[in-house]
Structure 1
Amino acid sequence: MNSYKSRLLIAALFLCSIGYAQQNQDASTSYKKRVLENTEIDILSSYYAQDGDNAAVSGGLGSEELTDVTGTIVVSVPLSDDDVLTIDAGVSAYTSASSSNVDPFDGDEPADPFVASSGASRSDVWTNLTGSYSHSSEDRNTIVSGKLSLSSEYDYFSFGFGGGLTKLFNEKNTELRINANMFLDTWTAIYPTELRPFASGANGLENGFFSNKTITGNSDYTPTFEKFTDETRNSYSVGLGFSQILSKNLQGSLALDFVQQEGLLSTPFQRIYFADVADSFVQNFQLADAIEQLPNTRFKVAAGGRLNWYVNETFVLRTYYRYYFDDWGINSHTASVELPIKLSNRFTVYPSYRYYMQSKADYFYKFEEALSTENFYTSDYDLSKYSANQFGMGVSYTDIFTKMHMWKFGLKSIDLKYYKYDRNTTFSSGIITAGFKFVMD
Structure 2
Amino acid sequence: MKKICLFTIGLYLNILAAFAQKGTADTSAYRDRKLHLDEVNLVTSYYQQNGNNSAVTGGIGTEHLTDFANSFDIKLSRYDKKLRKHSFEFDLGLDTYSSASSDKIDPRTISSASSSDMRIYPSLSWSVENLNKGTTVGANISSSTEYDYQSFGFGISAAKKSKDNNREVSVRLQTYLDNVTLISPIELRTAAGRGDNYGSSPRNTYNAAFGLSQVVNKRLQMSLLVEAAYQKGYLGLPFHRVYFTDNSLRTENLPTTRFKIPIGLRANYFIGDNLVFRSFYRFYKDDWGIMAHTADLETAYKINPFISVSPFYRFYTQTAANYFAPYKVHGLQELFYTSNYDLSNFNSQFFGAGLRLTPANGILGIHKLAMLEIRAGHYRRNNGLSANIVSLNLKFK
Q: Match for residue 56 of structure 1?
A: 55
Are 1:22 and 2:22 matched, yes or no? no
8 Å CA contact 2:223–2:266 kept in 1: the answer is yes
Post-superposition offset of 1:140: 6.7
| Count of residues paired in the alignment | 383
Sequence identity percentage: 36
Post-superposition offset of 1:26: 5.8
CA distance in 2, matches of 1:129, 1:303: 28
Q: Match for residue 240 of structure 2?
A: 270
Post-superposition offset of 1:127: 0.5
Shift in alpha-carbon separation, 1:267–1:355, aligned structure 2, 3 A:
same
Shift in alpha-carbon separation, 1:179–1:34, aligned structure 2, 3 A:
farther
Q: Match for residue 266 of structure 2?
A: 306
Match runs of 1:174-185 below 5 Å: 174-185=167-178
Match runs of 1:32-47 below 5 Å: 38-47=37-46
**Secondary structure in structure 1 of the residue aligned to 2:187:** coil
**Secondary structure in structure 1 of the residue aligned to 2:105:** coil
**Secondary structure in structure 2 of the residue aligned to 1:304:** strand
8 Å CA contact 1:239–1:257 kept in 2: the answer is yes
Match runs of 1:121-270 below 5 Å: 121-139=114-132, 141-199=134-192, 231-270=201-240
Shift in alpha-carbon separation, 1:271–1:38, aligned structure 2, 3 A:
same
Are 1:368 and 2:328 matched, yes or no? yes
Are 1:418 and 2:388 matched, yes or no? no
CA RMSD, Structure 1 to Structure 2 (Å)? 2.6
Match runs of 1:65-144 below 5 Å: 65-80=64-79, 82-107=85-110, 118-139=111-132, 141-144=134-137
Post-superposition offset of 1:38: 3.4
Are 1:430 and 2:357 matched, yes or no? no
Q: Match for residue 327 of structure 1?
A: 287
Are 1:352 and 2:322 matched, yes or no? no
8 Å CA contact 2:214–2:223 kept in 1: the answer is yes
TM-score, normalised with respect to structure 1: 0.81
**Secondary structure in structure 2 of the residue aligned to 1:247:** coil
Bigger drift between 171-180 and 395-404 goes to 395-404
**Secondary structure in structure 2 of the residue aligned to 1:339:** strand
Deviations 1:63-110 (A, max 9, x none): 000000011100112243611211100110001111111111212xxx
Shift in alpha-carbon separation, 1:16–1:146, aligned structure 2, 3 A:
farther
1:48 counterpart letter in structure 2: Y
**Secondary structure in structure 1 of the residue aligned to 2:305:** coil
**Secondary structure in structure 1 of the residue aligned to 2:304:** coil
Q: Match for residue 224 of structure 1?
A: none
Post-superposition offset of 1:338: 0.6
1:134 counterpart letter in structure 2: S
Post-superposition offset of 1:179: 0.5
Q: Which runs of 5+ in 2 are unaligned?
A: none
8 Å CA contact 1:15–1:147 kept in 2: the answer is no
Post-superposition offset of 1:154: 1.0
Bigger drift between 374-383 and 165-174 goes to 165-174
TM-score, normalised with respect to structure 2: 0.90
Going by fraction, where is strand more abundant, 1 or 2?
Answer: 2
1:423 counterpart letter in structure 2: R
Post-superposition offset of 1:22: 2.0
**Secondary structure in structure 2 of the residue aligned to 1:343:** strand
Deviations 1:24-51 (A, max 9, x none): 6567566789699633110000000001
Q: Which runs of 5+ in 1 are unaligned?
A: 1-11, 108-117, 210-226, 280-288
Q: Match for residue 113 of structure 1?
A: none
Going by fraction, where is helix more abundant, 1 or 2?
Answer: 2
